[in-house]
């Protein structure tokens, strides 16, 4: 899939490697599946952005997997997020991309382990990405924390 996207742009292996700051050989390994992006979220995000991948290509690059072994406690921010993206059958990466944040933020929010209260702007972007209105109780909590 990465190779198809690269060739569609008429980019050489070397050009893509230079843009990503990695070797041509490493790009080739990624394209042929002998090296996986599963553990390198920053590089994966960079490839998605650089190649301007569409939703189907992102799904191919970021395989679906169970994200949370047990759903978060009901009526929490994590539950709101969990039910939203599971309803859409999306994993955290496409949601993060649409909300202009990274998947670790989505994961942390879903596990209810976010150190700080998520701001209304971030919650609004996430809500739009999952097609759900942000419950007022999460917005009030943020406003009262200052």
Which residue ranges form the domains of the chain, and what is each CATH number?
2-61 (1.10.260.40), 77-144 (1.10.260.40)
pLDDT tens per residue across span 117-128: 678 899 999 999
Question: How many Cβ atoms are within 10 Å of 123's Cβ, its own excluded?
Answer: 21
Gap between the Cα atoms of 81 and 106, Å rounded: 8
**Residue 58 confidence class, pLDDT cut points 50, 70, 90:** confident
For residue range 29-38, list pLDDT tens digits in order.
888 877 776 6
pLDDT band at 23 (very low <50, low <70, confident <90, very high): very high
User: Cβ distance 105 to 42 under 8 Å?
Assistant: no
Q: Provide the pLDDT for residue 103.
A: 80
Within 10 A of 5 (CB to CB), how many other CB atoms are there? Answer: 20
């Amino acid at each position: 899939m990465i190779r198809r996207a690269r060739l569609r742009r008429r980019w050489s292996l070397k050009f893509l490697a230079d843009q990503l700051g990695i070797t041509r050989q490493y790009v080739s390994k990624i394209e042929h599946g002998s090296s996986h992006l599963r553990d390198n979220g920053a590089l994966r995000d960079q490839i998605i952005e650089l190649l301007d991948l569409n939703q189907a290509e992102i799904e191919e690059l970021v395989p679906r997997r169970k994200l949370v072994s047990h759903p978060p406690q009901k009526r929490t921010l994590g539950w709101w997020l969990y039910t939203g993206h599971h309803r859409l059958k999306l994993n955290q990466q496409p949601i993060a991309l649409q909300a202009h944040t990274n998947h670790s933020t989505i994961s942390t929010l879903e596990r209810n382990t976010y150190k700080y209260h998520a701001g209304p702007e971030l919650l609004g972007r996430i809500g739009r990405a999952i097609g759900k209105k942000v419950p007022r109780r999460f917005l009030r909590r943020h406003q009262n924390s200052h």
